[in-house]
Amino acid sequence: MKQRIITAFILAVLVVPAVYFQGVPFQILTVLTIGMASYELLHICSKPKLKYYLYPVVFCFFGYCCYFEQNAIFISSLPILLYSVIIFGACIFDEELTVNRVGYIISVGVLIGCAFHILCIILFKFGIEYLLLVTIATYGSDVGAYFTGYFFGKNKLIPRLSPKKTVEGSIGGIVLGSALAILYGIYTGILNQYPLLITACVILTFTSQIGDLIFSAIKRRFDVKDYSQLLPGHGGVLDRLDSLLYNAIIMALFMLIAGVV
C-alpha cells in the first residue's frame, strides 16, 4: 500500500499542474500517456509477441483522437474505419496477427482512442470543471471501494475477474464517489445549471467499476495481472486509467442528454 500511495502522490504532482495549465506540459503528458497506452495495449499479446510495426499504427490513431476533430465530442467514423482497415489488412501478411488479435486491437483500441478524444474535448471545450467531475466520481469510487473492501470486505464480487474486489467495497465506492462528485458539482455550480448530471454523479461511480472489470477480463484473457509495471504499485497506465477511460464515454452520453453538448 505504501508504494501505491507514493506513486499516486508523484502522479498527482506531475499530472495536475499539466492538466490545469495545459500548453506544452499537457502536450508532453498526452504524448507520454498515449505512447505508454499504445505499448501496453499491444504488449500483453505476448504469446507470441506482436511485431513492432503495429506500435506506431496504434500510437498515430490515439494521437489523431487526441489532437484532431476538436469540434465534436464524439469522433467521426472515418479514422476508425481507416484504423480498422489497416489492422485487418496487416493480418494478410502477418501470420501472428490472428483474427482474434485483430478483433482485440481494433475494439479495445477504438474504445481507448475515443475515450482519449472525449477527455480532451471535455477539457478544451467545456472546461476543467467537467473533467474533474468525471474524475472525482471515478477515483472517488476507486478509493472508496479499495478502503471499504480492505477493512470490511467479506463477500467476493466477481472473483473470476478480480479476486480482491468485494460487494462491500463496491457499495462503499458508490457511496463515497457519489457524495464527492455531487458535493463538487454543487460547489462549482455544474449541477445547478444541469440538474440531470446529478444522476451521472451516481451512475459514474457504478460504471467506473464496470470499466475496471472489463479491463480485468481482458487481462485474464491474456493471462496477465497488469498491463505493465510502468507505475509501481499500480501496474500500467491502462491499469490506472481503465475506469476513467470507460467513464469518459458514459460522461459524454450524459452531457449529450443533459444538453451540455
CB burial readout 169-194, b (16+ within 10 A) else e = bbbbbbbbbbebbbebbeebebbeeb
Q: Per-residue pLDDT averaged across 90-102, rounded?
A: 93
Cell 499504445 -> residue: 38
| C-alpha cell read off for 84 | 480498422
Q: How far apart are CA 183 and CA 191, in angstroms?
A: 9
Q: Per-residue pLDDT averaged across 214-227, rounded?
A: 92
The whole-number pLDDT of residue 6 equals 81
Q: How far apart are CA 159 and CA 173, in angstroms?
A: 17
Domain ranges of the chain: 2-258
- As a whole number, the mean pLDDT across the chain is 93
| C-alpha cell read off for 53 | 510495426
Q: Which tens digits make up the pLDDT trace of 55-89? A: 999 999 999 999 999 889 999 999 999 999 999 99
Q: How far apart are CA 157 and CA 213, in angstroms?
A: 10
Global pTM? 0.94
Packing angle of the helix pair 167-188, 197-221 (nearest 10 deg):
140
Can you give the C-alpha Rg of the chain in angstroms?
A: 18
Q: Per-residue pLDDT averaged across 255-259, rounded?
A: 93
Q: How confident is the model at residue 2 (pLDDT cuts 50, 70, 90)?
A: low
